Amino acid sequence: MKPIFSPQNKKVIFFDLNNTLVDRTQTMHYAFLNTLKEYTGRWSAEDNEWDPEAIWQRYYSTCSKKTTSKKHASSSSNPVCLRHALAPLPFQFNDAVIKAFLYEFKNNQQEHAVLFPHTKNTLEALAHSYQLALISNGSRERITAKIQRLGLERLIPEAHIFHSENGYRKPHPQLFENALKKMEIKSKQALMVGDNWKTDILGSTSSGIDAIWISPNHNKKMTIRKLGNQRVVIIRKFSYMLPLFSVTST
């Protein structure tokens, strides 16, 4: 595949965080099992009803059935789903315990985020030729802490993290325009990579920024389309992204 983007036409690559760099489903999976272990200790592996993987599947599948939106199906704060998932365990889970479990579950997701496969290697390769930055609707403190725990702070320094500031959140153009200004580039020199069509893709293209949309359900490995004056490249996985770029080899 011939590269589409080069250092001559793109200077900065902006990334979304969750579901773009961070695999939220795998992060939830790991965090749920870790939280479950904290609350139940060790149990007999011979008892299928106590199998932690089975409990996780009950939780995730129940949440998925209760909503039609993938985003909401991944919710990590649904007490109804949690009660259903924990029902086979011979422990008492009152309202206070359920609330505490969900609180620890959320904290574990922050502490133990999981990257999509090949993400760090891809970022390292891109960093030789492009500046890497982040545009997220999360708080600066939580984003910065997560980047550090993932070992990405050398690739995406704190000065390159742009969050929902002054009331502006993606897809508001002002957040993207603020990021362009601070990176001292024009919109045509930037690229946005994200998984959410509305917040990442429509938000960036409305500010004159080309985009890469990571859409797992896309029926082709790669498609290029126009959105107004902007170019949008659609791929199924983050790992498909590197061939789109001309990079300097080391």
Write down the pTM of the prediction: 0.88
N- to C-terminal Cα separation, the chain: 20
Judged by average pLDDT, the poorest of 7-11, 24-28, 48-52, 194-198 is: 48-52
Residue pair 86/94 in contact by the 8 Å Cβ criterion: no
36 or 69, greater pLDDT: 36
Q: 29: alpha, beta or left, given left = phi > 0 and alpha = psi -120 to 50?
A: alpha
Q: What pLDDT digit, counting tens, does each position of 41-85 carry?
A: 755 445 445 788 999 999 999 888 755 444 444 455 689 999 999
Q: Report the pLDDT value the prediction gives residue 38, as an integer from 0 to 100.
A: 87
Question: What is the phi/psi pair of residue 107, to 5°?
Answer: -65, -40
Burial of 169 (0-12, 13-18, 19+ CB in 10 A): middle
Q: Is the pLDDT of residue 249 over 70?
A: no
What pLDDT was estimated at residue 53?
93
Give me the pLDDT at residue 2, please. 87
Highest mean pLDDT among 39-48, 85-94, 153-162, 164-173: 153-162
- Predicted confidence band of residue 182 (pLDDT cuts 50, 70, 90): very high
**Chain position carrying tokens 């891109």:** 126
What's the pLDDT tens digit per position in 101-118? 999 999 999 999 999 999
> What mean pLDDT do residues 190-200 have?
98
Q: What pLDDT does 135 receive?
A: 97
In eight-state DSSP terms, residue 241 is: S
**Could you tell me the CATH superfamily of domain 12-23+115-244?**
HAD superfamily/HAD-like (3.40.50.1000)
Q: Which two tokens stand for residue 225?
A: 């389309």
Q: Where are the domains of the chain?
A: 12-23+115-244, 25-111
